[in-house]
């Protein structure tokens, strides 16, 4: 029996966020340079995107390049940007066939113009797709995003459009790059690192965290299914007691 059959389709998370990590180590294990690992990470992205869409996940957010990643060697940054352009062009038909909308979060203005041009095109081409939203976090970090939100809110207060006394959680939500998207219920990180690395700090307040030692280029749909089964085995209490959640068993 396939692992997939153990997934309860009625209790899927609406939004899965993934920190795709371990490309460099994967390449190193094979005696290759880091960029070889990035190239092989593309197959993992494709399999994950397709399997999420097939399952009925509504939003998938992939951490592709962080604000901090700009500090990597220029050669690696260039290779990652080139790979991004190539993959976007190559995979646009797959997005269309699978009715997937692509959007980005992050400081996309800091991306090379060739990359942002390609992105804008795919974003507009896929804008009316409805099956799943694929969010690419590019030049993204949560502190950058929260700082940006504070600036936007500050501007509105200054112009008299917003009363500081009326600021609530919804106001903050609405000024993040993820405005309008549900919070991720499940966050997956590959490569055995148990950290968040400046990813969706506000949005993952109540997400279930799942860490796997698999390196990203080896991650496939079966690994996603394992993560979902683990997620479904957990009791999400949101501060309540177990008895409050299922009074019958009190």
Collapse the DSSP code of 176 into the 3-class scheme (helix H, G, I; strand E, B; otherwise coil) and give the result.
Answer: coil
Contact pattern from residue 186 through residue 215 relative to Mg ion, giving x for each residue in contact according to CB under 5 A and a dash for the rest: ------------------------------
Q: Which is nearer to Mg ion, 118 or 189 (CB)?
A: 189
Q: Which is nearer to ligand IPE, 20 or 59 (CB)?
A: 20
Q: Which residues contact 77 (CB under 8 A, 6 or more apart)?
A: 69, 70
**Shortest approach of ligand IPE to residue 50 CB, angstroms?**
20
Q: Choose the contact partner of 69 out of ligand IPE, Mg ion, none; CB within 5 to 8 A by kind.
A: ligand IPE
Closest chain position to ligand IPE (CB): 24
Q: Is 69 annotated as catalytic? A: yes
CA distance 148 to 237: 31
Q: Which is nearer to Mg ion, 107 or 193 (CB)?
A: 193
Q: Could you give the C-alpha distances from 84 to 26, 125, 148, 161, 199, in angstroms and in order?
A: 19, 17, 25, 39, 20
Beta strands at 208-211 and 59-66: parallel, antiparallel or unpaired: unpaired
Collapse the DSSP code of 46 into the 3-class scheme (helix H, G, I; strand E, B; otherwise coil) and give the result.
Answer: helix
Q: Choose the contact partner of 19 out of ligand IPE, Mg ion, none; CB within 5 to 8 A by kind.
A: ligand IPE
Residue 136: φ, ψ to 5°: -100, 120
Q: Which of 47, 69, 107, 198 is catalytic?
A: 69
**Which residues in this chain contact ligand IPE in the complex, by CB under 6 A?**
19-25, 63-66, 68-69, 80, 191, 193, 195, 197, 216
Instruction: Give me 211's structure tokens.
Output: 């860490």
Instruction: Give me 188's structure tokens.
Output: 């997956």
Q: Which is nearer to ligand IPE, 144 or 216 (CB)?
A: 216
Name which of residues 15 to 54 contact Mg ion (CB under 5 A).
21
**Shortest approach of ligand IPE to residue 179 CB, angstroms?**
22
Residue 201: φ, ψ to 5°: -60, -40
Q: Is 99 annotated as catalytic? A: no
Q: Does residue 183 touch Mg ion according to CB under 5 A? A: no
Residue 138: φ, ψ to 5°: -125, 125
For 209, other C-beta atoms within 10 Å of its C-beta total 12
Instruction: Give me 243's structure tokens.
Output: 């008895």
Number of residues that bind Mg ion (CB under 5 A): 1
Cα 249–chain centre separation: 36
**Shortest approach of Mg ion to residue 138 CB, angstroms?**
16
Q: Which is nearer to ligand IPE, 52 or 137 (CB)?
A: 137
**Binding residues for Mg ion (CB under 5 A):** 21
Give catalytic residue positions. 21, 69
């Amino acid at each position: 029996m396939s692992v997939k059959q153990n997934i309860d389709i009625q209790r899927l998370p609406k939004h899965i966020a993934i920190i795709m990590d371990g490309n460099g180590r994967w390449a190193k294990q094979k005696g290759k340079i880091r960029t070889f690992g990035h190239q092989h990470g593309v197959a993992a992205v494709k399999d994950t995107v397709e399997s999420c869409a097939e399952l009925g996940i509504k939003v998938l957010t992939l951490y592709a390049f962080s604000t901090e990643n700009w500090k990597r060697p220029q050669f690696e940054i260039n290779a990652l940007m080139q790979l991004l352009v190539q993959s976007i062009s190559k995979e646009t038909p797959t997005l269309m066939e699978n009715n997937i909308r692509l959007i980005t979060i992050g400081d996309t203005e800091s991306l090379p113009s060739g990359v942002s041009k390609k992105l804008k095109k795919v974003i507009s081409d896929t804008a009316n797709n409805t099956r799943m939203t694929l969010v690419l976090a590019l030049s993204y970090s949560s502190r950058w995003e929260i700082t940006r939100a504070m600036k936007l809110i500050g501007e509105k207060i200054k112009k008299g459009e917003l009363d500081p006394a009326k600021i609530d959680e919804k106001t903050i939500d609405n000024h993040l790059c993820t405005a309008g998207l549900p919070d991720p219920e499940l966050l997956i990180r590959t490569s055995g690192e148990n950290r968040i690395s400046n990813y969706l700090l506000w949005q993952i307040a109540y997400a279930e965290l799942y860490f796997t030692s698999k390196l990203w280029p080896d991650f496939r749909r079966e690994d996603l299914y394992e993560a979902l089964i683990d997620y479904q085995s957990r009791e999400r209490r949101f501060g309540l007691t177990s008895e409050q959640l299922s009074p019958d068993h009190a």
